[in-house]
Copies of this chain bind each other. A is one copy, B any other.
Amino acid sequence: MPGNGELTVKEGETITITNQVSVRPYLQTLIWVHFPERCLVKGSRCSIVAVTAMDDDEWDDEWDDTRSSACYAEVDLEAAEEGATNRTEVQGPTRKITLNKFPGFSKSGPELYLLAKMLPKGKEKISVYMGEVGPVWLYPEVQMECLVADPKKGSKMYGLKSYIEYQVTPSTTNRPVNHRYKHFDWLYERLLEKYGSAIPIPSLPDKQVTGRFDEDFIKLRMERLQSWMSRMCRHPIVSNSEVLQLFLNHQDEKDWKLGKRKAEKDETVGVMIFSQIEAEAPELGLDEVERKCESFSRFTKAMDDKVKDLLAVGHDHWKRCTGPLPKQYQKIAKAFQNLSTVFSSSGYQGESTLTDALTATGKTYEEIATIISEQPKKDLHFLVETNLEYKGILGCFPETITVHKAAIDKLKDADKLVATNKISPHDKPVMAKRVSNMSYALQAEMNHFHSNRIHDYNRVMQFYLEEQVKLYETIAGKLRAALQQYTTL
């Protein structure tokens, strides 16, 4: 894109400009936007002043600096349509950019792969096997894990710029590397570029401009980075990727920078990932491919709805458990304590057993109020986090499925394309073979998704119920102790 580009913002439309642009596969340039001071523009025109490839160092310097007047731009139209969505809570598919105004970009564009004369001969091969549940990825014998821990405040430029650095330790080497949020974000971008057409790469926890050094924020971000890294490490293809290995295993700063440059020049990105896939199975017919695709589409949409419902219920329940419910128990506590105070003023002999017991009951209800209000952090939090993660993953499927549907449509049009000399008759069987290949990849990914989903929900539900059992048992125990203070009749 030579010179300046323009995005027109309609009156009343909100466009969020954050620190980094989210580029889709094939757009191998980063958009450098000069932007005065504020990052939120309403009902105005914003000009993209220059597009340039940048130097690593520059990139390194600016990312965490909110005072910079130049910033990477993420044009988040979807979030804008949703209105005032709470961004810290919405993990997921908000990182979208409508780039079809840029020449050469086709939104899904499976043609590039379907009609490529020469497929790149990459070193990496992605195998799909027939497992018990159908097509599956090749899983490593030992699953890599990695620990994100020990957030530390760092600074540079003589303390002018501060950031938080996390220690990331992969189970393969047990050697920790340090990474800032922007490094995770860089990794995310690379993974999205490379695998996004075939594998849902969920968004990172949202960026935040203010309160970045707040303890609770750091803790939650670290927890979410941990979940994200675990999910990436658990994925047989992603965990095996050069870029993730670089992120976890680079030896030093030079190694890291060289690796970064190499990764950014990777050409097997977008739909071209399918060229690496090798399915050891007979070619699938178009009908079967279409049926599978439809069924995955239906399932992921339906699950997305229900996950959102559960999140809404969880959010409501959280509010109730931390608001009106403990307040109610505090009122009950106060009522018993006040009664105790009045009774103890009676001047009647033999009053103390009852007043002591009533006071203890009041204290017990105060404790119950506290227990109830602190419970969501202990259990509901993980149920909500898991569902937020799934909301994020499910938000990636529509695009994956769109790529597949476009490939299917292309194959359906093959005869017409041959007739109008758009493609050669020889291209059609090649396309059919490649669409079948894409379907194997989708099926393998869906089976991976299902297996993870069953594992994750099984785990989180057990955890939630265990904590809920403990909660009610604790309350029962406290009330039993209060009960024992009364005179036995």
Contact = CB atoms under 8 A, between A and B. Distances in A.
Interface in A441-489: 447, 450-451, 453-454, 457-459, 461-462, 465-466, 468-469, 472-473, 475-476, 479-480, 482-483, 486-487, 489
Contacts of A303: 339, 342-343
B339 A306 contact: yes
A343 B331 CA distance: 42
Contacts of A469: 476, 479-480, 483
Contact of A317 (B328, B334, B450): B328
A158 interface: no
Interface in A173-221: none
Contact of A461 (B133, B341, B358, B468): B358
A274 to B, nearest CB: 23
A406 interface: no
Interface in A324-360: 324-325, 328, 331-332, 334-336, 338-339, 341-343, 345-351, 353-354, 357-358
Given A302-B342, A316-B328, A489 B462 contact: yes
A335 B354 contact: no
B335 A309 contact: yes
A465 B475 CA distance: 11
A132 interface: yes
A472 B364 CA distance: 14
Given A133-B348, A347-B295, A461-B358, A306 B473 contact: no
B454 A351 contact: yes
B486 A349 contact: no
Nearest to A446: B348
A70 interface: no
A472 B461 contact: no
Given A346-B450, A472-B473, A361 B461 contact: yes
A310 interface: yes
B346 A299 contact: yes
B479 A468 contact: yes
Interface string A294-325: 01001100110111011001101100100011
A365 to B, nearest CB: 10
B313 A457 contact: no
- Interface-central residue, A302, A334, A336, A461, by most chain B CB under 10 Å: A461
Contact of A462 (B316, B450, B454, B483): B483
Q: In the assembly, how many copies of this chain are there?
A: 2
Contacts of A480: 465, 469
A454 B343 CA distance: 9
- Interface-central residue, A295, A299, A313, by most chain B CB under 10 Å: A313
A338 B306 contact: yes
A354 B299 contact: no
Given A331-B313, A349-B133, A465 B479 contact: yes
Interface in A57-97: none
Nearest to A483: B465
B331 A316 contact: yes
B349 A335 contact: no
Contacts of A345: 298-299, 302
13 contacts: A133-B349, A295-B347, A299-B342, A299-B346, A303-B342, A306-B342, A317-B328, A320-B324, A348-B447, A348-B454, A353-B458, A461-B486, A462-B486
6 residue pairs, one from A and one from B, having the closest CB atoms: A472-B476, A348-B450, A465-B483, A310-B335, A313-B335, A472-B472
Given A343-B454, A358-B457, 9 more contacts: A299-B346, A306-B335, A306-B341, A339-B457, A458-B487, A459-B489, A469-B479, A469-B483, A472-B476
